[in-house]
Structure 1
């Protein structure tokens, strides 16, 4: 499929670059562009609802007590339910309840929103798609020809430590490379400072890959156990010393893999 048309788009949404790549005979058509613009509109709407940085978002209004849960929109209540399920699955390693007593669903929203918006791309016949939301990737390949997704080196933003050839699975990464020690351990309430610089997870759902990557990073050396909480998911960790460890089910090979 390398000779087929390709087109890419990128916009800043949710405070990060979100890129879309179309590949196939309709990649440069108006239909493809319309679908992509619909994706960006939906993601901007999600950001307007869930951003913790925007004072007018529902999440911010809930935090200030200006909005009660009984008044929250159905989509906010749906995400709250998803966050509760994620907390139960991970034994509290993923928790939208913050140490200060607030509610921050950011660890789930990005993957959930990107996966939900990608359905708009799937409606366009004759194209394969790769949507990358700041390193969280959804792939749609009706042709069966996989995309190659790179796993960024936490120590070098211009390098990759591994690749995944995907014709349908999602990929999510959690770590400190982009935003420093921004993740907290719900068990202690403190910042996560562990032995691993990043944990990447691949599997059928970006929402759950994102949740598992976050919880696995919090779990530190126990991250493979956390990734295994759901069938069909595999993980790869990059140690702070640069060593790469892939689970046996990880669908790629990297020369730095230490097993």
Structure 2
């Protein structure tokens, strides 16, 4: 554990966004206002394009009138391509056509407004229509959905926003940037000496101000998916927000949380979400990806794969610590 007293403390900003908390860190504190302006603009863009909860969002308009072929905006096209990439990477375990299934479970409004105990019975579940049936021409930005399909880009759009904001803020400021949106964390630019210290919690990974289980990240991204934070009761049963596209039901609990490191937050999020959906099959599948991963079982058992380092519990010296070997996929 090494202290670097000459290194300035990163500039930090935290504020509510997209139903979670946005956290921004920059290696140059004087760049914080500029980086925050970039992040807020990105959050506004992803919200008006991809939100299921805004009737005026582009996604809501697409879902309201799915018939026929339509042109979509450049941002929507990028978000849809990210969702389709996630579906390909996970062989459909993460699928953007689960919108109707998520709504049927009661997640038809912002999570803060979801009824915590809804007495209505859960409708009969149906498999998602399937991402392979989406017709999309990325060059012309023309989209046609299968009949009756509702898209849900929530599994990837937030991660895409983290990736985009980190890259743009680093390019504008010329310093190292970390963006965390709930469980989705992306970095860009030069990391602080010793890396960004990231705490691992039951809900998500986040910048670590003090001691606790943590890793040091020198580049790339982390994403955490889990089944404990966004839960509610519907028809007398506990349900959560991660849907198995093969059944239309909440994924069968196998892991409490899964954290994955990858080159981009979109890929890390896709893989961590797929591991939750795969349950008992996740370990063999994750080994095939070769990405560093940390899984916490329902009984608190921790499994580390792909070179994920042991947890560090020593107090973190201010401002930066070397903590542990940095996990990550391709840089």
TM bucket normalised to smaller = 0.7 to 0.9
Partner of 1:71: 71
2:18 aligns with 14
Residues 49, 126 of structure 1: alpha-carbon distance in 2 compared, 3 angstrom cutoff: closer
SS in 1 for 2:33: helix
- Cα distance 1:99–1:51, how it changes in 2: closer, same or farther (>3 A)? closer
Distance 1:235 1:39 in 2: 27
Q: Distance in 2 between matches of 1:215 and 1:161?
A: 27
2:54 and 2:60 map into 1 onto residues whose CA distance is: 7
CA RMSD of aligned residues (A): 2.7
Q: Deviations over 1:41-78 (max 9, x none)?
A: 12111111100011100111111118965232122123
Contact persistence 2:23–2:180 (CA under 8 A): yes
Distance apart, 1:253 and its partner CA? 3.3
Structure 1 residues 97 and 34, CA gap change in structure 2 (3 angstroms): same
Equivalent residues in 2 for 1:22-37 (5 A)? Answer: 22-23=26-27, 26-27=28-29, 29=30, 31-37=31-37
- Counterparts of 2:99 and 2:10, CA distance in 1: 45
Does residue 212 of structure 2 align to residue 153 of structure 1? Answer: no
**Residue 44 of structure 2: SS of its match in structure 1?**
helix
SS in 2 for 1:193: coil
Unaligned runs of 5+ in 1: none
8 Å CA contact retained: 1:140, 1:167: no
* Count of aligned pairs between the two proteins: 249
Q: Which structure 2 residues correspond to residues 162-173 of structure 1 after superposition, within 5 A? A: 162-173=213-224
In 1, distance between residues paired with 2:23 and 2:17? 10
SS state of the match for residue 97, structure 1? Answer: coil
**Superposed displacement of residue 204, structure 1:** 1.4
| Residue number in structure 1 paired with 2:292 | 234
2:169 pairs with 1:118: no
Q: How far apart are residue 206 of structure 1 and its match?
A: 0.8
Match of 2:259 among 192, 200, 203: 200
User: What residue number does 1:177 align with?
Assistant: 228
> Who is 2:56 aligned against?
56
Q: CA, structure 1 residues 67+4, in 2 after alignment: closer, same or farther (shift >3 Å)?
A: farther
Q: Shift of residue 250 of structure 1? A: 0.9
Q: Are residues 91 and 161 of structure 1, via their aligned partners in 2, closer, same or farther at CA, if it must alter by over 3 Å? A: farther
Deviations 1:87-119 (A, max 9, x none): 122111010001633110110111111101111
CA contact (8 A) 2:82 2:266 kept: no
Greater shift in the superposed pair: 107-116 or 77-86: 77-86
**CA 1:92–1:246 in structure 2 vs 1: closer, same or farther (change >3 Å)?**
same
Task: Please say if 1:247 is aligned against 2:298.
Answer: no
Taking a change above 3 Å as real, the CA distance of residues 88 and 139 of structure 1, as seen in their structure-2 partners, is: closer
Q: Deviation digits for residues 193-251 of structure 1, max 9, x if unmatched?
A: 322111110121111001111111100122233334545x2111111111111114113
- Find the aligned partners of 2:76 and 2:189 in 1 and give their Cα distance: 30
Q: After alignment, is 137-146 or 92-101 more displaced?
A: 137-146
Q: Secondary structure at the match of 1:102?
A: coil
